[in-house]
Chains A and B, each alone.
Chain A
Amino acid sequence: MAQIEGTYGLLAEFDTPTELIAAAKAAYGSGWRRLDCYTPYPVEEAAEAIGFHSNRVSLVCLIGGLMGLAAMFGLETWASVLAYPLNIGGRPLYSWPAFIVPAYEWTILFAGLSAAFGMLAMNGLPAMYHPLFNSPSFRNGATTDKFFLCLEANDPKFSLSETKKYLENFGPLSVVEVDY
């Protein structure tokens, strides 16, 4: 596999989410598309600021849930009606009220697992290596109290000197170049 080399992007570090969001909105507004925000806790507005639109995880979760429902309800119906038709207290073989509870449990189980694995499958995790961890400020602050905006080198607007100046306009704590 070819080794990727060169600059991954420019990383600006902010003290508050408010500043990060202002910068991210401005960058997105002036045409940046290869950019990302990194925050120590979920910040909904940061995702919205960089044009993040709804993803497919909720759809995968829904389909998973429906599959779980169908699988368990089908299994119970097959077992009670076709495979082992037993007379239990004179009740009909197809006693749907009794099938609801396990079917419901499987809906939850399948929906939960599909959401978790769907999320992992679609967000690129687990990742063994990410260039941003080359930046010491990122290693120290990204999971505690700092907010980062990264403008990536594969955006057509990227230019090492211009972009660095552009980011400095937002008053970050630091702007560093991150290598692969």
Chain B
Amino acid sequence: MAHAPEHGHHARTLPANLGAPAFVNGWRRRALIVGAVFSALSLLLAVLDHSIDHLLRAWLLGFMICFGFAVGGMALLMVQYLTGGKWGLLVRRPLEAMSRTLPLVFLYFLPIGIFAKKLYLWAAISNPAEALKSGLISAAQAHAIAFKRPMLNLTTMWITTIACFAIWGFYMWRLNSLSLQRDSDTESPVHYWTQKFENLSGPGVVIYSLTLTAGVIYWVMSLDPTWYSSVYGLLFLVGQGYAALALVILTVLTLAKGEPFKTILRVTEQHDLGKLTFAFVMLNIYLAFSQFLIIWSGNLPEEIPWYLDRIRGGWGVVITLDFLFHWLVPFTLLLSRDLKRNRKRLIFVCQWMIFARCWDMFWLIEPNFPDARRNLHFSFGILQYAAVPVALLAFWSAYYFFQLQQRPLVAVNDPHLAEILEPDHAHA
């Protein structure tokens, strides 16, 4: 064995069955049970609260998180084709499964679109001048609603939403069907497929960032029609990467309890994914803080109330915790090299990050509403934030697990596959 060629004598072999391990069925069942329990809980809370206002707000939160997984996962899939690298092969199939949940995410949007008048001030107020006279809204709000009317109206919102989902649907279909074709096509040279995916993904990432910006402006930013921020789309883009990456690492690490990931997951790629997560944690706080610093420095009456609504009246506690949850905790933990190479601990950090993303979304959404701004207080309604998003996420997860089971978990026609099966030290 002295001169073994290409270190081949230690390479592992892929198991014959590349399908999802049997325990994914158990995950699905558990997700459905959690979904059912929390749906019942949210109905109970709606009865106790005598309104569905908070149910809708919390629904928006759950929708935004699931949307982040489906579309953010798809964006990460495209980025992975563009950058290359062995980590990409590892996460490709889970990301594809995330992207295929898009139809469910569109269903999640429907209640928001249908009950838009209960959520969005600009949708509820048809005549801003009259509403101002009767004291329903402030002068600033009346002005913003009237001025932004060509954009902020229900027709445009529906058209934009459907157009965005159609574009994402197109990419979802192309990325997923081409990936299966690639698996079965052993004739074409390697660069035929890498180029095909690069050509699809390059424009795809740009289009994703534009459509995503349009979507989040309508769904979240316009909850407060007076305020705007030019970095808003980018903030959500990074936030989606943050959460989608955490979920995909979580998936890969927990799937590695069984085949085929047991064979293909190496510490090297796990470490790489951990480092990438760290980069997203940094970029996320960088953008969030830049937006704050610019608005704080400007101190303009059009902009600063958005932050004051979210700091005063008890919200200071939420934003302080947000900073700790969203940045300080994952940042300090991910600094450690040993932690990134430890499966159990990295799983914990990923779960934590998904929770932190939900917490951040709560801080973004709830203070938009007159009863909550500068006034964080208890009501049965606010508990909806702990019920509805859990239910939506649970049903979404069940669908995601179902999608995971639909395909082999490893893309086989990829030059990286041979490398990933070699021992950790075989390549620089």
Contact = CB atoms under 8 A, between A and B. Distances in A.
Interface string B327-347: 000000001011000000000
Interface residues of A, number: 23
A62 B289 CA distance: 22
Contact of B426 (A18, A97, A171): A18
B425 A46 contact: yes
Interface string A50-64: 000010001000100
B1 interface: yes
Interface in B288-315: 289, 292-293, 296-297, 299
A26 interface: no
B22 interface: no
A16 B292 contact: no
Which applies to chain B's interface (DSSP): helix, strand, loop or mixed? Answer: helix
Contact of A42 (B293, B337, B428): B428
Interface in A1-57: 15-19, 21, 41-46, 54
Given A18-B4, A58-B337, A171-B1, A43 B293 contact: no
A46 B296 CA distance: 51
The range of chain B's interface size is 20 to 34
Interface in A64-90: 89
B50 interface: no
B424 interface: yes
A45 B2 CA distance: 19
Interface string B1-26: 11110010110000000000000000
B293 A44 contact: no
Nearest to A147: B425
B7 A16 contact: yes
A98 interface: yes
B292 A97 contact: yes
A101 interface: yes
B423 interface: yes
A17 B293 contact: no
B299 A89 contact: yes
A100 interface: yes
Contacts of B1: 19, 171
Contacts of A101: 293
Interface string A79-113: 00000000001010000011011000000000000
Instruction: Across the A-B interface, give the 4 residue pairs with the lowest CB-CB distance, nearest first.
Output: A171-B2, A41-B428, A17-B425, A45-B425
22 contacts: A16-B7, A17-B7, A17-B425, A18-B9, A18-B423, A19-B1, A19-B2, A19-B4, A21-B425, A42-B428, A44-B268, A45-B423, A45-B424, A46-B425, A91-B299, A97-B292, A97-B296, A98-B293, A98-B297, A100-B289, A101-B293, A172-B2
Given A16-B426, A17-B7, A17-B426, 15 more contacts: A15-B3, A16-B4, A16-B7, A17-B425, A18-B4, A18-B7, A43-B425, A44-B268, A45-B423, A46-B425, A54-B338, A97-B292, A97-B293, A98-B293, A171-B1
